[in-house]
Amino acid sequence: MNVPTESRDRTILVTGAASGIGAALCRRLAAPGTTLFIHTRANRAGAEEAARAVEAKGGKSHVLLGDLADTDVAADLIASVANEGRLDGLVANAGFANKTPLASLDAAALEHSLAAITGAFHRLCRAAMPLLQAAEAGRVVAVSSFVAHRFQLDGVSMPASAAAKAGLEALARALAVDLAPHGVTVNCVAPGYVQKQAGAHAALNEESWRRAAERIPLGRLGQPDDIAALIEFLLSLDAAYITGQTIHADGGMSL
């Protein structure tokens, strides 16, 4: 019989966890026996706020900083986690949106998106493989985006982000094959339009957000916790037979 997720000891790394989906996920996962490594590129205050929320619910937390576009940072993050002695879950959530149209997108901007999203996921997974293979029920979840699948977005195509997220999904499928013999699952979540926290960077202006909500069958923008709930499930023991999938959480946009 499966042990309920909430009662088992586990260590999970969440990248990009200082706000939004990552912070919402940390709050959901927080529980006695759970150690969360909360990564942010530079928002220490946000990460520390998430850490306090985790500890208030009886969990343990560590805040890690670093720009995942830097080729050394992924290995450093995994080395910090290895000091805990285990890694049961890896959530690759860090990323950013670039809405520069293709005609104006220079090579440096494209390479930065690929390095910070696709390349970072590759480096994280390579470094984490031994720990994940040793886990009793290893889980990897990568946060993709609807922009890898849809291009009729009110004049916004986001080619750099689309390429980076599509590459992320392809790598996740390959990793799912490689890790399946070890019982490790690897999946992607593709959110639709998700409400940003006040003061957070947003790729769209207020009017574009309003029009986006009108195009969503459920009639509203997603909330960070909507996406965090799906990731929480994919990290659980109940998701043991789901791997290599990209699951859309978009209010019906992909219909």
Per-residue pLDDT reduced to its tens digit, 83-101 = 999 999 999 999 999 989 8
| pLDDT tens, residue by residue, 163-211 | 999 999 999 999 999 999 999 999 999 999 998 765 555 556 677 667 7
User: Residues 93-149: pLDDT tens digits?
Assistant: 999 999 898 999 999 999 999 999 999 999 999 999 999 999 999 999 999 999 999
Among 3.40.50.720, 3.20.20.70, 2.40.50.420, 1.10.10.60, name the CATH number for the domain at 5-247.
Answer: 3.40.50.720
């998106």: which residue's tokens? 113
pLDDT at 205: 67
Q: Where are the domains of the chain?
A: 5-247
In our burial notation (b when 16+ CB lie closer than 10 A, e otherwise), range 199-213 reads eeeebbeeebeeebb
Structure-block tokens of residue 127: 């470094």
19 touches 46 (CB < 8 A): yes
Tell me the per-residue pLDDT of 37-77, one tens digit each, with 9 for 90 and over: 999 999 999 999 999 999 999 999 999 999 999 999 999 99
